[in-house]
A and B are shown apart, each in its own frame.
Chain A
Amino acid sequence: MTQHGSPPSGSHHDEDVLGKAYDARLMKRIYRYLLPHRRLVVLSGLFLVLVSAAQLAQPWLIKQAIDGPIASGDAAALVPIVTLFAVLLLAEFGFRFGQIYYLEKTGQSIVHDLRVELYAHLQSLSSAFFDRNPVGRLVTRVTTDVETLSEIFSSGLVTLMGDAVKLIGILVILVWMDVRLAALTLMVLPLLGFVAFFFRIRIRDAFRAVRERIARLNAYLQEHLTGMAVVQLFQRERADDEEFDTINKSHRDADLSSVFYDSIFSAIIELVGTLSVAMIIWYGGGRVLASAITFGTLVAFLEYAQKFFGPIKELGSYYSVMQSAMASAERVFALLDARPEITSPAAPRSWPAPQRGASGEVIFEDVHFAYPQGPEVLRGLSFRIRPGEKVALVGSTGAGKTTVVKLLVRLYDIQRGSIRIDGVDIRELDPRELRRRIGLVLQDHFLFSGTVASNIGLGDPVVTRDRIEAAAGAVRADLFIRELPGGFDGEVVERGANFSVGQKQLLSFARALAFDPPILVLDEATASVDSQTEMRIQMALSALLAGRTSLVIAHRLSTIRESDRILLLHKGAVREEGTHEEMLGRPGGLYETLYRLQFQPLVEASLPADLPS
């Protein structure tokens, strides 16, 4: 029998599952970011000491009041003490504000540096990296993870340093006031240490179990909500109720055990605190009676003892904050360690100087290429585009047409062969310089949120407003741009959702033209548009291609007809080439078949062209 009702046994290790709360290697790395802001760190440390001093002076003042004016019945002498107390309170307020502000400022400045560095690093990574990593995950890295990391500073270091200074201060004062009473009071410390050690491990394990099970709950929910249609079609509802119940209850049990240890831990800490109070009263009282200490000292002892145990209670929450901050730091640094696969050579060749009428030659020679972990897409591809020539690239789906374009602008590196522009291997050029010289219009007409003008000029200072408008005019995009509210300054919402497909296409033509590249590469859109838009696009295209070397992945009959030469790509290599007429004249050739498939209507003049092929 196959089992039912048992929860799926897949392992659910999740990103959330945590490791250490302190990792020396990570801290060392974080420390490097701290260095530039060391002045702020010193400043906040200074404030920290002042805060502790102001705080710890208060019980001492009470002691003075009790031993002095109150004991002697001199009400007037109370005034300076009370005044000093008030001043100390104000000082504490001010110092503490300064301390919090400067420490947070340090943390936030570091986080800002890190965020910018991470983002800049992300920009340098290669396309293959972006293929591997989903957008959502990367966004999380540069936002949420960096944010969580900042807790190392704001919650972690602030609390830890603040508490440490305070605890040491109290110890010093206690010993200074009365060594014997101090020794007795501190006798509880080893006990405390033992309790903390014993429970810290249990609390940590309990919280880890809670997180693991929350991750399981999350995964189960996510999966079953996504596959709800299957669940309902197969009537799994009741079986799934039971499965969920098991996971849900195991989470609850972990949760309850964390409550259990947490409650006992805080109760014991409190108990230990009160124990020390009792000891101070009994032993300290005896010392007072023996006139070894004053009554005021006894009261001060009680006050200090209370201040001592407060911070220790908070240790648990501090621990879990640090844990998740460290996990985030780990992920952030892992991203920073990802190396770009496509880099500029150490000494990039400068772009060949344009020679009259002979600029923009493109050569592919015996190019072999496979995507990471994929089959070989290009198998010894060779072709040459002469300067100024208009070449159309055709082929069936999966023939490798788009790959050719991506390789030309070096979004990926080839495995064998060479790609040369004006005689220079593209790997010897700075990739950014290369991409500047090649105008690329992709099928997915991506628009950024911003204005129409910023989408054409992309914020490049070289592309002036005049050039933007001229480019838009040349492809006739200005016709609709001027009708927009705001014209060239009209708003473009995210992904250009407020523009039609045809408009987006014209805008990306204008963009390519505004940069006036010597070589133009275009992946013609397949989406069908109405005939008027179609005509506009054709005219825009001629304007765009005029006077430059071009390579167009053609989907339009007009494009193949007007090109100087057609290359037919089949299974990763050029199989046929020539003009449209020449190639059609070879009956039984691949081109003829392809032409009938891609450029002729399915059923003469009666059917939509968007049939799945």
Chain B
Amino acid sequence: MSRRPDARPLSLIRESFRLHRARYVWGFLLLALTNLLALSIPRLLKHAVEALETKDTRALLLLSLTIVAVALAQALVRTASRLAILGASRRVACELRGRLFSHLQRLPLSWYSRRPIGDITSRAINDMILVRSFFGPGMMNLLNTTLVYVTALTMMFSMDARLTLYALIPYPLFMVAVNRLSRRVFAHSMAVQEQLGRLSSRAQENIAGISLIKTYAREPEETKAWEDLSRGYLRHTLALVRARGAMVPLMGIMASAGTLVVVGLGGRAVIDGRISLGDFVAFNAYLGYLTWPTFAFGWILNTFQRGVAALRRIGEILAEPAEDREPPSDGLDAEPLRGAISLRDLTFTHPGAPAGTDQLRKVTFELPAGATLGILGTVGSGKTTLVSLLPRILAPPPGSVFIDGRDVTGIPLSRLRHDIGFVPQESFLFSRSIRQNIAFAPRPFSEDQVERAAEASRLSKDLPLFPRGLDTIVGERGFTLSGGQRQRAAIARALVTDPPILILDDALSSLDAQVEHEVIENFKREKARRTILMVSNRVAALSWADLILVLDGGAVIEQGTHEELMRAGGLYAAIARRQSLEATLEEAS
């Protein structure tokens, strides 16, 4: 295992800032300039008022033109600063997402068994939006608020310190009030969320059990219970609305309250001749600038908290140690596999599983290169575990699994997976064309190779049924393949690489008897080319194997050729008899 990478929120933040230093520095400088420009407008207003008092029309025109010029400059600079800072945040999110995906692809498969896919996706999408807000509007508003406060207050103090202090009196009061209200808002939102959760699980349970509800004719009672829950939700929401409904107007009148002070006390100051009428107007305008940054403060805090929390969740994944693997080119320098497989006294327990819950117990066999192995067994007997150890989907203990006499734990992963063709139990295909699905391994395949693989897996048989043949797009949004068609595509995907070792994990289960027979005939024809390991529940699919293992509870209880096992009259023979009975029943018309 490699060392844990440093992915704490703080180092992620530092790194992202370093990468986009130029954009941030440039953006922040422009932002400062924007604010200076914006805050010069009340000063111009003041001069305009004074020009009015001296009846200087020329100055009035000049000042108006200056305001237009300043406004133009401000629009340009503000746009540029927003583009720099917000642009940087978009880039940070994009890079982080790319890094996250790349890292996810290199995590061991065992890691995925503990994680719901929805949770991981949510980190890459939803959390990334919070991160983006942190690096973009969050940062921008933090700086903006600070700048506006510093400059506006400086200007105001320079005009009249006493008036400034008075005008600011309402601010702390409002901040306290807003703070208290936002705590109430928070508490109520939690309650609303909880109730929403209740609604959601109720709906979930109801829909999952709908046939029971119908058969017991409980629909009215269920609707009634839902109505009660929904009413509770309404109650909680309205409590939230009351808290929020007080907060919004409170913020709205905050600005006006300052004006009230200015009108009352500032008006007096003008009358007393302490300040000019121009100061009075400018003062009012400055006060207007303070309103928004004051509201923004709570929002900024919130954005930062949520951003850091999101970064922590993303960092959690990034800190997971990736699977140790060498660069692919190095791995492929290793000698290609020929396909002789031997298991020596293999006992396997899932990592973290309690002692005595061995998935496999003392499994031993020898399979020469080019031979075929059949594996049959009860549910949970360890068949899938057994074949998963070869390409190291699960990590085998050292000294137990060998290919060509080499311990698989010592064979480079890229070589191992390059030379093993694997058809998993669930034939997962991707939303792309069938051709692209078959040529999934990143190697240059010719048209001919793809077509031959489709032929060998007998997928070719159904190609005329697809709207665009091999170029038909499959998957959730595309053409829906039947289970058997998917299985054959998955077989073709493994065959196209012409691997020295082919593993089929119950990969023929959805094929009808005729197609299964044809696929097996194709395997037989090229038998000497590769070693085949084949898990199946159907005796008919395994009978041609050179060696058949019967697994039960993780141990090999019978092994031999089909004829030997039939003669022995054990579990294998019993299953064979049962399956022939089933076939008889199936054929009865």
- Which A residues are closer than 8 A to B by beta carbons? 1-4, 8-13, 55, 58, 61-62, 65-66, 69-70, 73-75, 78, 81-82, 85-86, 89, 92-93, 96-97, 100-101, 104-105, 108-109, 112, 115-116, 119-120, 122-124, 127, 130, 135, 138-139, 142-143, 147, 214, 217-219, 221-241, 244-245, 248-249, 251-252, 255-256, 259-260, 263-264, 267-268, 270-271, 274-275, 277-279, 281-282, 285-286, 288-289, 295, 298-299, 302, 306, 396, 406, 409, 411, 431-433, 435-436, 438, 440, 442, 446, 448-449, 458-460, 494-495, 511, 515, 570-571, 590, 593-594, 596-597, 602-603, 607-608, 610-613
Contact = CB atoms under 8 A, between A and B. Distances in A.
Contact of B207 (A122, A217, A236, A449): A122
Nearest to A150: B237
Contacts of A267: 75-76, 78-79, 82
B442 A238 contact: yes
Interface in B210-231: 210-219, 221-223, 225-227, 230-231
Interface stretch (B146-154, B299-307, B416-424, B454-462): B416-424
B71 A278 contact: yes
10 contacts: A11-B478, A100-B241, A101-B241, A230-B428, A241-B102, A278-B71, A282-B64, A442-B215, A459-B218, A597-B582
B215 A411 contact: yes
Given A12-B477, A108-B241, A223-B431, A256 B447 contact: no
B67 A139 contact: no
Interface string B51-70: 11001010011011101101
A361 B245 CA distance: 64
Contacts of A597: 578, 581-582, 585
Contacts of A302: 45, 281
A508 to B, nearest CB: 9
Nearest to B584: A593
B432 A8 contact: yes
Most chain B C-beta atoms within 10 Å of own C-beta, residue among A222, A281, A613 = A281
A89 B258 CA distance: 11
B60 A286 contact: yes
B109 A232 contact: yes
A89 B260 contact: yes
A596 B578 CA distance: 9
A93 B249 contact: yes
B436 interface: yes
A230 B442 contact: no
Interface in B151-207: 196, 199-201, 203-207
Given A119-B203, A603-B571, A594 B585 contact: yes
Q: 8 closest Cβ contacts across the A-B interface? A: A274-B71, A282-B64, A8-B432, A96-B249, A252-B94, A123-B219, A100-B245, A278-B67
A152 B105 CA distance: 41
Which of B203, B473, B570 has the largest number of chain A CB atoms within 10 A?
B203
A135 B244 CA distance: 34
Contacts of B211: 127, 130, 406, 411, 442
B67 A281 contact: yes
Given A2-B445, A119-B223, A233 B391 contact: yes
B124 interface: yes
Given A248-B97, A396-B586, A602-B575, 13 more contacts: A8-B436, A10-B478, A70-B280, A85-B264, A108-B238, A218-B121, A219-B431, A229-B393, A241-B105, A302-B45, A436-B216, A449-B205, A602-B574
Interface in B252-269: 252-253, 256-257, 259-260, 263-264, 267-268
Pick the most buried of B41, B272, B440, B582: most chain A CB atoms within 10 A of its CB.
B440
B357 interface: no
A317 B45 CA distance: 31
A340 to B, nearest CB: 11
Given A69-B267, A435-B216, A281 B78 contact: no
B117 A222 contact: yes
A223 B61 CA distance: 65
A10 B472 CA distance: 10
Contact of B378 (A225, A236, A248, A611): A611
B48 A285 contact: yes
A259 B221 contact: no
Given A96-B252, A275-B71, A289-B57, A607 B574 contact: yes
B209 interface: yes
A217 B125 contact: yes
Interface stretch (B83-91, B361-369, B520-528): B83-91
Contacts of A3: 436
Nearest to A59: B259
Contact of B537 (A235, A260, A612): A612
Nearest to B438: A2
Nearest to A96: B249
Contacts of B67: 274, 277-278, 281
Given A225-B117, A515-B216, A1 B444 contact: yes
A244 B101 contact: yes
Contacts of A226: 117, 428
Interface string B121-137: 10011000000000000
A247 B288 CA distance: 44
